[in-house]
Structure 1
Amino acid sequence: MGITTSSHAGGVAEVVMDTPPVNALTVQGWFDLADAVRQAGRDPGTRVVVLRAEGRGFNAGVDIKEMQATTGFEALVGANRGCHAAFGAVYECEVPVIAAVQGFCLGGGIGLAGNADIVVASEDAYFGLPEVKRGALGAATHLARLVPQHLMRAMVYTCRNVTAAELHAYGSVLEVVPRERLREAAFEVAAQIADKDPYVIRRAKESLNGIDPVDVNRSYRFEQGFTFELNLMGAGDRHRDDFVSGKGA
């Protein structure tokens, strides 16, 4: 369990999150994920990365219970830095990253999927940012890569979710498949990429990042500043305590 990496025929690297019960990553977990994705991309034998998860859902964000069990601001700062590192690792990975999403993709999961090059999802997948209910902000930068601007704002303010089918209609999810076919579908897309000239694909990734209209790393860091403000004003702890106690679920 934890974060594991395996290599497959044709140059496909598979990075898997497996941290029961809901793949909410600890501070160290986010840094481990960042390291795994970056190392996979640096490997000259890697042509494409498949990022997926085991269990009920893809990713439920940060481990709020760890944060509330830690005195001071160390866990909050660590989680923010860890998420920034992991999201950046996916975006800056030297080869394309395919996110295979099942079940819930919430909070930090949006940062991973939004920064991926391609998203393949199961029929039961849904996406959302519950941050406002947790006294935090962040990953709207990445949600804006998945849904239109006004829907992104509505999702942030109301904490509503959208389905994989809705994202497929927007073009941000490439394929929606039965859950049992999710890994297979992701590997099928990966094989199509891995079949291309690896030098050309790496330059394509670099060039596409270069023409992005938004600097995702700087934009997300800007959002995080407001999370620190909310925490200083007491809203962060109050809402996280409610979540841990079950009042804010």
Structure 2
Amino acid sequence: MNTLQDLQCFTLTVAEGIATVTIARPPVNAQNGRFRDEIIRIFDLLHDTPEVLAIVLTGAGRVFSAGADLKERPGLSGEPGAYPRHNRLVRAAFACVMECEKPVICAINGAAIGAGCALALSADILIAGESAFLSMTEVDVGLAGGVKHVLRHFGQSDARLMIMTARRITGPELLRMNVVSACVPDAELLETAMGIAREIAGKVPLAVRAAKRSFNLVEDLPLHEGYRYEQSQTVALSTSEDTREAQRAFAEKRKPVFTGR
């Protein structure tokens, strides 16, 4: 990852097909322009890195991300065009996680507030530490936003409860609401997420990427159209060498060897 030697807000490691992206902007991992530029660069690069099969996203310290850095809020400057530029970059910082073709497992450690909450909800699979919580605090300060991100993982009533009250939804409550796949002791959080990443990394890479594309595309499609797209993905995969290898390995009771073709 020689093109990412200048990171100031993140650390990145890659081992055994798994990339670990750690937010590292103390004291509370707040998101500013530099943060957003770096996360876009990181996830765009991982998108195009064949040896990366799954990604774990987490935060350093006791906070996942406390949200946007208010010192950079464009409304304070009054500069014409500042808000459109700012909003475009914010959208891209979340979209790069959602659109990255590799599955992203978010290990939520501590607080994920506002933009931090939206970033966590941009991931594919969510795991929470017992001390973690999600909170959208916009209504407390006269702002709005995050509804669509919240609706990706929350049911309708719980989404409205979260947005309209600005409550902190803790790890155990997130599990009860089916927002996260697991709530584990903080000391076990990263290893739990890594275990899921390793499991995904052992599957047919082309099929995993196709599955993520399907989730992103069919989310807002009617059942008939969504399933028809999924069937087209299966047809395309059926002729790939990795699919043939997976089927041969299953029949021969051995571990498959994938080539990405």
Q: Is the 8 A contact 2:47 2:101 kept in 1?
A: yes
CA distance in 1, matches of 2:150, 2:199: 26
Cα deviation 1:61-96 (Å, max 9, x = unaligned): 110023279622466444422220111011111111
CA distance in 2, matches of 1:207, 1:146: 16
Cα deviation 1:12-59 (Å, max 9, x = unaligned): 011111111111111221121122112112211111111111022111
CA distance in 1, matches of 2:176, 2:11: 32
Match of 1:84 in 2: 91
Q: Structure 1 residue 123: deviation in Å?
A: 0.2
How does the TM-score come out when normalised to structure 1?
A: 0.80
Letter in 2 for 1:177: V
Matched, 1:112 2:119: yes
Q: 1:192 aligns with which of 181, 193, 199?
A: 199
Q: 1:37 aligns with which of 31, 43, 62?
A: 43
Q: Is the 8 A contact 1:101 1:119 kept in 2?
A: yes
Match of 2:139 in 1: 132
Q: RMSD value over aligned CA atoms? A: 1.8
Match of 1:65 in 2: 71
Structure 1 residues 75 and 15: alpha-carbon distance in aligned structure 2, compared to 1, 3 A threshold? farther
**Percentage identity across aligned positions?**
36
* Residue aligned with 2:10, SS: strand
CA distance in 2, matches of 1:126, 1:140: 17
Match of 1:50 in 2: 56
Match of 2:212 in 1: 205
CA distance in 2, matches of 1:138, 1:93: 23
Structure 1 residues 69 and 153: alpha-carbon distance in aligned structure 2, compared to 1, 3 A threshold? closer
CA distance in 2, matches of 1:79, 1:19: 19
Which consecutive unaligned segments of at least 5 residues does structure 1 have?
Answer: 215-249
Structure 1 residues 68 and 207: alpha-carbon distance in aligned structure 2, compared to 1, 3 A threshold? closer
Which consecutive unaligned segments of at least 5 residues does structure 2 have?
Answer: 1-7, 222-261
Q: Max radius of gyration: which structure?
A: 2
* Residue aligned with 2:63, SS: coil
Match of 1:16 in 2: 22
Matched, 1:150 2:157: yes
Q: Structure 1 residue 148: deviation in Å?
A: 1.6
Q: Structure 1 residue 145: deviation in Å?
A: 2.0
Structure 1 residues 181 and 79: alpha-carbon distance in aligned structure 2, compared to 1, 3 A threshold? farther
Letter in 1 for 2:54: V
Q: Structure 1 residue 60: deviation in Å?
A: 1.3
Match of 1:26 in 2: 32
* Residue aligned with 1:105, SS: strand
CA distance in 2, matches of 1:6, 1:93: 17
Letter in 1 for 2:71: K
* Residue aligned with 2:91, SS: helix
